[in-house]
Structure 1
């Protein structure tokens, strides 16, 4: 087998090896994998084929890694993928090792295919080419989403791991934003591993990827930490007891200006009419070859508006084009924006409208 052929088939061969020999005394059938992964036997067979090569998406490899991390996946005659929260510390370590290996083999296969005539462009290559959420192929991305405090989680059904119907994602406080951004990143970066983390789950390697932080300084400690490290003229002040509530504070020359959300009513009857949100893009201070992006608001709807500005198919291209015109090749920049709420719906901000832009800032690229 030539070197090129070996690289092209590396992932397929490894997937077959896992199924047939990962556990020496137990051979997993394709039918069992079908039951566990929720896909067809022909699809599993195509992923193991060394002839007509078909590369599985990353989210399927995440399932593979979790499945083969523990023999409990095939306990009691039933094949299933256990949630990560149910894995022991040793099983989680095995899962991480397998996922890293499979991800590396996937990148090797894709590079080998890309060098040949049969390589096909990834779905996100053209549609998202100029979108800030599009990153170079194969570079890992980590979403760090704000999480609810323990006392609030205790009030949510199924948020406790002790319940039979435990739902791990109930610990996140910006689920609308997370759902929107996670899907967009997967579509725009089909060859990259997109990892989701809550601040309580972070590991050292997570900090050196492309970082996307969701949520404000109250519920996302990483956002608070990163904003302290940046020399931004914008600060989030969580003054929840103040008469006008929390605000963003902006340094403008020798003056300081405050931007508040617009609310009506009070107490339990308060209604949000307009939020203030921050979008920041710069260099990841932990790895200068990766980026740091912050989507932050006074309320969750502000976070969602900051995300939607570059994911909403009606506005993402024009907003991305505005960022390119306005900031060029700046090493870092930020946009403080209005986010309007009509009824129960968040209206995507149009950054080409001056009325939507409350403050803009940028730092020139090194050498400019």
Structure 2
């Protein structure tokens, strides 16, 4: 571009005409982008040192979680000779065998306990989820009968409990001792889970529910056709909470179950690992016919793996709903 005098004006290289993030310093190196004034410091991308520190911390956390699982699985697949050579838990796998799993799955106490745990978890999760959804939906409707007194009762149970002896007397009075229902009904409903569901239901758009009601839908149809399809994430998370709770529970079995044949898997695992009790038909402390080696520790670890695997299998299917469900169902204020 030339002026009327035929001279070419100098290009103004003022800093205002060059983005600050692209401007170079005196040595010709690009400047580091400045932090945005609209974002806090923790939302800025980390530098090389920060990324390295995060990698080391996360790698340490993963190692702390994976290493114990690795030792348990490898020990369950090892022979008694390998555990003796390793002085206990096996870290580096040597001779691998499935004898421990064959023993615990051969129809003894462990197999029966696993079936009991699966049945209790399946039935209990279904009952608890259905009851919690119905209670939460009823409490989320301001026009429901005795809405506030019932909600107040739910809140009281979160802070005050009847105690162990009164609870046992109630279960005993209902004739549930030595019954599978004693492992389900006493903890069938969690007030915390009901409040999470209630808060989510109250956050739904009222216009959608009013439109369904204008079209002639009743409360049951609104719940089944409108509310539940919009609440899959939070319901899946609540079902996961209940399922994990039922699968890992053993204290109710200690209190209410006297028959060893009705023990859940977690109580059998507690007897093997913590107390060292050997039950008839369990395979613990028996001699393997093929190798002649006693497989006590591998069998204990195999029982532990059997208690962990179902949750590890189910969790990935619910994990994608986990964060969304917890955030949507969280109490905001």
TM class, shorter-length: under 0.3
Q: Which structure would you say has the larger Rg?
A: 2
Whose RCO is larger (CA < 8 A, sep 6+)? 2
Greater share of strand residues, 1 or 2? 1
